[in-house]
Amino acid sequence: MEKDTTYVALDDSKRKIVVGILRSGDTQPELREIANDPRQIRRLFERLKREGPVAACYEAGVSGYDLHRQLIALGVAGAVIAPALTPRRPGQRIKTDRRDAAKLVRLFRAGELTAIHVLDESEEAVRDLVRCRDDIRRDVLRWRHRVLKLLARHGRACLTGQNWSQAHWRWIREQRFDLPPLQRAFEATLFALEQALARQAELDKELEAVAATASYREPVGWLRCFRGIDTLSAIILLAEVVDFQRFRRPRELMAYLGLVPSEYSSGESQRRGALTKAGNSHARRILVEAAWHYRHRPTIGRALASRTHGQPDEVVAQAWRAQQRLHRRYRHLVGHGKRTPVAVAAVARELVGFIWAAMTRHESRRAAA
């Protein structure tokens, strides 16, 4: 930033924006309040740009990326700040919009804020579709529980076979109750479950179509070379991570996904705890689910062989090394007394390193070529 840059912080809400402005040489920010309206925002920054260069920021939240796109269209250097990484004073017990704007603009000028990666409109659209599908997946899980609990409350339980197999579905649909209100409640609950499953299947087809487009076909194919990752898992990872090359080291990606252990060490003492879970929960869930596959001995079955067919040799070799290394790692941890979920979490963390290496190295070579 130039020395005469005017720094602006926006504390936005649904109806209004509190603006903190720090001009060159000022020690106390100027605070203004404007309506959350594109015309008001444009008028404010056009006035400030007459004085010199302007840099603006706001915390990710209610405005999404739309406010950032407005700033870029006005020729303002904008940044979207990660709220969880904004420094906070432990003793500060008063929070208002004006105080937040003043604090944010001071930290922005001092360089103490962490900016997030801003998606373009097409990337954001795919991510919204992925998260919509994840919301419906959770709805399916809840409605399944409701169906089974309703049956269990009235002494109906299927004790043979696995739940939600074809035989189990036939058993559920054959259930009848003598009391009309109870029968109606059962039919409504079952209908809601079937509707949620139909919506989930529709979105799965939409995501498969997205994965087949030119923008996603190659990276989806590379990710599908890894055991436990198929088309749906691959498109979720790509929608959440977006660009693996923006992480300089695999440890940065592991931290972004919340797969690193928490730590509180001081002096001679070192204390490490559970996973931070401070990052992207959607991608972390996919990776932990994939890590469960590495409990089994390394092998290339028919499905995995078909997924790796025609993919770059370097990516296929990296995926095979991951199978061998992660299975040994899982067996070592379980053999030394670690609980299975803890061992799987450690495998998921190392799986991130293999995926990062495969995606970044092959992408770099392809770009150079």
Does 340 map to a domain? yes
The verdict on 128 and 261 lying in the same domain is: no
Look up tokens 């926006």; give the residue. Answer: 10
pTM value > 0.85 = yes
Neighbouring residues of 185: CB distance < 8 A, sequence distance ≥ 6: 150
The verdict on 358 and 323 lying in the same domain is: yes
* The domain boundary residue, chosen from 56, 89, 110: 110
The verdict on 233 and 305 lying in the same domain is: yes
Does the structure show a pLDDT above 90 at 302? yes
Residue 59: which CATH number?
3.30.420.110
Neighbouring residues of 346: CB distance < 8 A, sequence distance ≥ 6: 329, 333, 338
The verdict on 235 and 180 lying in the same domain is: no
Domain containing residue 17 = 6-110
The pLDDT tens digits for 12-47 are: 988 999 999 999 888 899 999 999 999 999 999 999
Average pLDDT over residues 330-340: 96
Element (H or E) spanning 22, and its range?
strand 16-22
Residues 230, 232, 233, CA angle at the centre, nearest 5°? 65
The verdict on 133 and 89 lying in the same domain is: no
- Long-range (24+ apart) CB contacts under 8 A made by 30-34 are 31/98, 31/101, 31/102
One DSSP character per residue, 312-346 reads -HHHHHHHHHHHHHHHHHHHHHHHTT--HHHHHHH
Does 115 map to a domain? no
The verdict on 93 and 40 lying in the same domain is: yes
Look up tokens 């090359």; give the residue. Answer: 245
The verdict on 360 and 242 lying in the same domain is: yes
The pLDDT value recorded for residue 366 is: 59
Rounded to whole angstroms, the Cα distance separating 165 from 171 reads: 10
Element (H or E) spanning 189, and its range?
helix 180-211
The pLDDT tens digits for 230-273 are: 999 999 999 999 999 999 999 999 999 999 998 888 887 888 88
Does 116 map to a domain? no
The verdict on 206 and 341 lying in the same domain is: no
How many structural domains are present in the chain? Answer: 3
Average pLDDT over residues 307-327: 95
Rounded to whole angstroms, the Cα distance separating 340 from 343 reads: 5
| 80 SS3 class | strand
* The domain boundary residue, chosen from 87, 110, 133: 110
* The domain boundary residue, chosen from 91, 110, 129: 110
The pLDDT value recorded for residue 328 is: 97
